[in-house]
């Protein structure tokens, strides 16, 4: 998600919850180490920020036309259509019901919500309540440091995990070490690995994934034209600097189980062809992973 978005929604930090211990470790099916099945355990989705210039109902139509079934929504998107509402924690009960019905009619799942940066524990509680009501599995966030303990407890209370997202430098979570610090001793805080932003910060993407091993529950899939440039242009997957075959192999090695959200931050007004390309690229390259 673009840094510009955060100027609008305020804040400057990120967090996510994944795992069952203080230290990173592999997440493996009981009794079947190394047996992750990509087609079962990996969900390909889209971060609706990709379509943020359009209302939510139009964004859903675009995702549907691109063959995407899993969704990561973001706060503040006008609903459009017959709704007189905005997607987020202040949505009316009627709008929430209609959104669930819309997604069900499309055979889609609302998996994640973010990126959010709540400014108080009360706002966090409201966010968790919204997520639970909507069936959201994890909240992609950049939490304030003084909220780490309270949101870890709330995540356990509501059964909704936190996934810390990495924006490019300078950002409180631009390096995996800062995400690890937030997760230490907090069993409900995980990571959302934005591989494009790591590359924008001049970090080796695979090394970053290794640091967060066992604690990654979401990935933002984007490719960029120039390494170590914070405002590097987005390009289609496979056309930029990120070595996605190595990324997918590393996630497979870690027994990653979660959603990989396509987040296309270019060609804003006509990027459905880009999303289709990225889906096809993902399916082709993941099919080669041994």
Coil vs helix vs strand at 159: coil
Q: Tell me how far CA of residue 90 lies from CA of 14, 75, 127, 130, in angstroms.
A: 21, 10, 9, 8
The Cα–Cα gap between 260 and 286 comes to: 12
Q: How many CA atoms lie within 13 A of 215 on its CB side?
A: 34
Q: Tell me how far CA of residue 280 lies from CA of 66, 68, 238, 287, in angstroms.
A: 10, 11, 11, 11
Nearest one of 77, 161, 165 to 115, comparing CA atoms: 165
Sorting pLDDT into bands at 50, 70 and 90, what band is 40? Answer: confident
Least confident range of 4-8, 144-148, 158-162: 4-8
Does position 189 have pLDDT exceeding 90, yes or no? yes
Please tell me whether the overall predicted TM-score, pTM, comes out greater than 0.85 for this model.
yes
User: CB atoms < 10 A from the CB of 10, how many?
Assistant: 9
Beta-bridge partners for 235: 223
Phi, psi of 246 (to 5 degrees): -70, -35
Whole-number pLDDT of residue 18: 37
Nearest one of 165, 160, 105, 107 to 134, comparing CA atoms: 160
Average pLDDT over residues 58-74: 98
Angle between helices 121-134 and 93-106 (to 10 degrees): 40
Beta-bridge partners for 164: 191
Q: Tell me how far CA of residue 15 lies from CA of 73, 216, 235, 240, in angstroms.
A: 17, 11, 26, 27
The Cα–Cα gap between 128 and 111 comes to: 14
Does position 29 have pLDDT exceeding 80, yes or no? no
Sorting pLDDT into bands at 50, 70 and 90, what band is 5? Answer: very low
Least confident range of 1-15, 108-122, 155-169: 1-15
Among residues of the chain, what percentage have pLDDT more than 90?
Answer: 86
Sign of CA dihedral 3, 83, 162, 30: negative
Strands 234-235 and 223-224: antiparallel
Whole-number pLDDT of residue 4: 40
CATH 3.20.20.150 fits domain 12-286: yes
Nearest one of 96, 93, 92 to 73, comparing CA atoms: 96
Does position 13 have pLDDT exceeding 50, yes or no? no
Residue 170's contacts (CB-CB under 8 Å, 6 or more residues apart) are none
Phi, psi of 266 (to 5 degrees): -160, 165
């Amino acid at each position: 998600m673009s840094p510009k978005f955060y100027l609008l929604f305020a804040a400057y930090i990120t967090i996510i919850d994944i795992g069952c211990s203080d230290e990173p470790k592999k997440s493996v099916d009981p009794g079947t180490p190394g047996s992750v099945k990509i087609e079962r355990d990996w969900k390909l989705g889209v971060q609706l920020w990709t379509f943020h210039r359009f209302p939510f109902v139009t964004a859903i139509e675009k995702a549907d036309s691109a063959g995407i079934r899993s969704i990561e929504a973001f706060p503040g998107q006008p609903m459009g259509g017959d709704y007189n509402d905005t997607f987020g924690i202040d949505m009316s009960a009627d709008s929430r019901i209609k959104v669930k019905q819309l997604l069900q009619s499309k055979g889609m799942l609302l998996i994640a919500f973010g990126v959010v940066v709540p400014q108080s524990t009360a706002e966090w509680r409201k966010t968790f309540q919204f997520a639970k009501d909507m069936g959201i599995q994890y909240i992609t966030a950049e939490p304030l440091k003084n909220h780490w303990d309270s949101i870890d407890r709330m995540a356990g209370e509501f059964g909704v995990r936190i996934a810390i997202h990495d924006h490019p430098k300078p950002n409180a979570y631009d390096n995996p070490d800062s995400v690890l610090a937030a997760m230490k001793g907090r069993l409900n805080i995980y990571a959302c690995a934005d591989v494009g932003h790591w590359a924008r910060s001049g970090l080796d993407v695979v090394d970053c994934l290794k640091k967060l091993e066992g604690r990654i529950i979401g990935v933002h899939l984007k490719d960029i034209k120039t390494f170590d440039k914070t405002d590097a242009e987005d390009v289609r997957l496979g056309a930029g600097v990120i070595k996605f075959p190595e990324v997918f192999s590393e996630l497979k090695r870690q027994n990653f189980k979660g959603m990989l959200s396509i987040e296309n931050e270019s060609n804003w007004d006509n990027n459905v062809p880009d999303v289709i390309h990225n889906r096809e690229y993902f399916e082709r390259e993941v099919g080669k992973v041994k």
